[in-house]
Amino acid sequence: MGLDMYLTAKVYFYEYDNRKEIEDAIEQIKSMSSSLSLPASWKPKTIVFEVMYWRKANAIHNWFVKNVQGGKDDCHEYEVCSSDLKKLLDDINNILNEDSNAKQEEFINNLLPPRPGFFFGSTDIDEYYFEVLKYTKKELEKLLQLYDTKPNCIWWFEYHSSW
């Protein structure tokens, strides 16, 4: 057991210009399971991607609880705006880009402090803490760049955790 965290992206294709992309995705799914038989009348319009996964990254979880979940830590799914993801990226950058240890500690305590919990892992500000921030930064930059370049669809994001 432990704190597992997921960020999913759901893409709704509202223009059938993307029909080929959807059909290719369906064919890929069918090739993985020969028993999958979809009725021809079904018209899939949404594809769900797991875009980020964290394990015991309690500071990131704490950020979502405070900034997205209204303080509720209940393992439900919560919609996340792209502006929320940009804010998380800004907070991470503030911590990673600060050279002064005192200022970095202040940023950590205000922006991304660890959150204790029975299955949440270590609350130390150590190498693992910074590796999680670097991973999150890298993945958010890729995600937000892709989000900004896909005008033919509607994206939305959801965060949820479990323990």
**Residue 56 vs residues 76, 121, 158: alpha-carbon distances, Å:** 17, 5, 18
Q: Look at the block and give the residue holding tokens 């079904």.
A: 42
Do the beta carbons of residue 91 and residue 112 sit within 8 Å? yes
Domain boundaries defined on the chain: 4-162
Which residues lie below 8 Å from residue 130, measured CB to CB, with a gap of 6+? 96
Average pLDDT of the residues in 118-144: 94
Tens-digit pLDDT profile for residues 32-88: 655 666 676 766 677 788 999 999 999 999 999 999 999 999 999 999 999 999 999
**Residue 141 vs residues 41, 45, 130, 137: alpha-carbon distances, Å:** 38, 26, 16, 6
